[in-house]
């Protein structure tokens, strides 16, 4: 099982380099991250967008990027994948909604099932393994059916990392079910539906999910306290705030990837630094 980004780097280093279609590559930080991955032999990047601007951002003597001049980089990058000229997609200087519309187009996109979801991956100096958090970027409405499909997508991805039996936590404010806290009701429904096929508990609060001692102090009989791998968050906002807070204030390393499409999609915030973008590339290369 991979428990750090360093181990993840070693994992993808042993694999055949992938071809990454980078959508709207007019960003020096993006190019810096792509250049690093390419120089390390992890991937080959095809850069889509304004060729003149992209070329002006590539430092002299650096990686030999393939550049495709495009006025519609999302659509053209996806065509590249359909033509077997690229293995995965990466978001560049483009609005997430615009990229998702191209991915989800039923005729020309990269649909596999009915639902995509974003996984943020966090390495904390205070937790003994990687923590996977969803959904902080795609699904704005989270109901029982959405959570069930998210679990399927996440489980498939984690199996690639050697995690055959990950522990899922349906994250809420408290561990008791209350009609006044709707996410606790949904958590109970999801756990009842999935508990026979995956390791999942909920409603469960973050302190219990991260600490066996917290569960004992609260008098809770949890089988996964202190060992949770996946936080299924009660809203996109809470997931997004948690990840960005851990990154900015918690000394954590983060990255992110979209799962559930025909190919992995590396989704980044435009404010991410080069290290975060590079870690996200590693997650996509899995």
User: What is the distance between the alpha carbons of residues 199 and 228, in angstroms, rounded to a whole number?
Assistant: 9
**Are 264 and 103 contacting, i.e. CB atoms less than 8 angstroms apart?**
no
Phi and psi for 40 in degrees, rounded to 5? -80, 0
Q: Which of 157-171, 235-249, 266-280 has the lowest mean pLDDT?
A: 266-280
Q: What's the rounded mean pLDDT across residues 1-13?
A: 91
Strand partners, 22: 47, 90
User: What is the distance between the alpha carbons of residues 277 and 70, in angstroms, rounded to a whole number?
Assistant: 22
CA distances from 99 to 27, 48, 53, 90, 236 (A): 16, 13, 20, 10, 18
User: What is the distance between the alpha carbons of residues 215 and 207, in angstroms, rounded to a whole number?
Assistant: 8
| The two three-digit tokens of residue 193, written as one number | 């539906």
pLDDT at 214 over 90: yes
Q: What percent of the chain clears pLDDT 70, i.e. is strictly above it? A: 99
Name the pLDDT band for 64 (thresholds 50, 70, 90). Answer: confident
The pLDDT value given to residue 114: 76
Euclidean distance between the first and final Cα of the chain, in Å? 13
pLDDT tens-digit series, residues 170-179: 999 999 999 9
Name the pLDDT band for 167 (thresholds 50, 70, 90). Answer: very high
Q: What's the rounded mean pLDDT across residues 239-258?
A: 90
pLDDT at 269 over 90: no
The pLDDT value given to residue 140: 85
Domain spans of the chain?
Answer: 1-112+261-286, 115-259
- Which CATH topology does 1-112+261-286 take? Rossmann fold (3.40.50)
The pLDDT value given to residue 112: 84
* Cα-to-chain-centroid distance, residue 109: 19
What average pLDDT does the chain have? 92
pLDDT at 248 over 90: no
Q: Is 274 exposed, middle or buried (0-12, 13-18, 19+ CB in 10 A)?
A: middle
The pLDDT value given to residue 80: 96
Architecture of domain 115-259: 3-Layer(aba) Sandwich (3.40)
pLDDT tens-digit series, residues 65-108: 899 999 999 999 999 999 999 999 999 999 988 999 999 998 89
């Amino acid at each position: 099982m991979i428990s750090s980004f360093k181990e993840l780097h070693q994992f993808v280093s042993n694999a055949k380099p992938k071809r990454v279609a980078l959508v709207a590559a007019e960003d020096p930080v993006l190019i810096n991250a792509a250049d690093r991955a390419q120089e390390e032999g992890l991937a080959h990047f095809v850069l889509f967008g304004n060729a003149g601007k992209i070329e002006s951002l590539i430092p002299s003597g650096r990686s030999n990027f393939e550049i495709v001049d495009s006025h519609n980089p999302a659509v053209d990058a996806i065509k590249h994948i359909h033509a077997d000229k690229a293995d995965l997609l990466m978001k560049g200087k483009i609005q997430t909604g615009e990229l998702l519309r191209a991915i989800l187009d039923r005729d020309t996109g990269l649909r596999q099932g009915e639902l995509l979801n974003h996984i943020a991956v966090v390495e904390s100096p205070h937790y003994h393994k990687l923590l996977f958090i969803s959904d902080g970027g795609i699904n704005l409405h989270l109901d029982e059916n959405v959570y069930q499909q998210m679990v399927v997508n996440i489980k498939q991805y984690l199996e690639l990392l050697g995690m055959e039996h990950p522990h899922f936590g349906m994250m809420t404010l408290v561990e008791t079910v209350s009609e006044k806290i709707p996410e606790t009701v949904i958590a109970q429904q999801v756990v009842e539906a999935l508990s026979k096929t995956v390791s999942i508990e909920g409603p469960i609060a973050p302190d219990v999910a991260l600490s066996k001692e917290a569960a004992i102090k609260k008098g809770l009989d949890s089988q996964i306290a202190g060992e949770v791998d996946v936080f299924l968050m009660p809203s996109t906002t809470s997931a997004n705030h948690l990840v960005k807070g851990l990154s900015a204030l918690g000394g954590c390393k983060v990255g992110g990837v979209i799962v559930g499409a025909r190919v992995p999609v590396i989704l980044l915030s435009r404010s991410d630094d080069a290290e975060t973008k590079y870690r996200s590339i590693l997650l996509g290369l899995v």
